[in-house]
Amino acid sequence: MVRTRSSGRYAFPSVNMAREMTLPVPTSVLWRTSDSHVPYEKALADMDVRVDAILEGRGGEEVWLLEHPPVYTAGTSANEADLVDARFPVFRTGRGGQYTYHGPGQRVAYVMLDLKVRRPDVRAYVRGLEEWIIRALKILGVQGERRDGRVGIWVMRIENGVEREDKIAAIGVRMRKWITFHGISLNVAPDLSHYSGIVPCGVKAHGVTSLKELGINAGMKDVDEALRTAFEEVFDTPTRVHAPPRFS
């Protein structure tokens, strides 16, 4: 089933990824959700298969929603000193960024899009991911914000009468011949103590938070629906849940 897009609800031409393209944007994006926890190495292998299929014309674009068992991942800019306590498996990955944590209660969204037919611009793509998260959070009742020089989405909150700034969503991307993979992670209700084993994204001055810690009573299905609605707006492409076999 393909959902019709709702383009034009908001006027954000600077982040509309369908703008300034030279070829037609795909008619829909496969929206896939895994209900069980997916091992990190399996997710990497699955993304590789999908990216190759897109490159070879055997498969289409996909957004894959999932949760991982607890794991730390190191991006290409990771500083070894930021791995404080390797209590969980550590994976070196080719995505951008530094150390981050994935685990139960966190919604990971891996995004495999063909920027050749959208807009071959890495900065515009990352800004599109940021806008996607911000709009999804707005649907859920949270004001997410960008910060210059810090990738990810941040929230301001009051704790014990003191204003603080915490990260609620991370972004890490990789590309192969303009096909994107890896993507975003949004803290819904993870065990935030698991972050103590690393310096998240190399930022020591600020903490991490979650929807649960902010008092937002949202389950994964609520988060998934907000992400889907916001994705269709920002990337100006409808999504479909049911599809033929993944690859020929």
Active site residues: 201
Residue 156: HSE in the Cβ half-sphere, 13 Å Cα cutoff: 7
71-74: strand order across its sheet: 90-92, 71-74, 99-102
Rounded Cα–Cα distance for residues 183 and 65 (Å): 10
C-alpha to C-alpha distance for 19 and 1, rounded to whole angstroms: 25
Q: Please, what is the end-to-end C-alpha distance for the chain in angstroms? A: 20
Buried b (16+ CB within 10 A) or exposed e, 107-131: bbbbbbbbbebbbeeeebbbbbbbb
Burial category of 23 from C-beta neighbours within 10 Å (exposed 0-12, middle 13-18, buried 19 and up): exposed
- Nearest residue to 196 via CA among 126, 133, 103: 103
Nearest to 190 by CA among 71, 65, 31: 71
Q: Which of 43, 38, 31 is nearest to 242 (CA)?
A: 31
161: tokens are 């009468």
Kindly report the CA angle at 62 between 56 and 68, in degrees rounded to 5?
Answer: 120
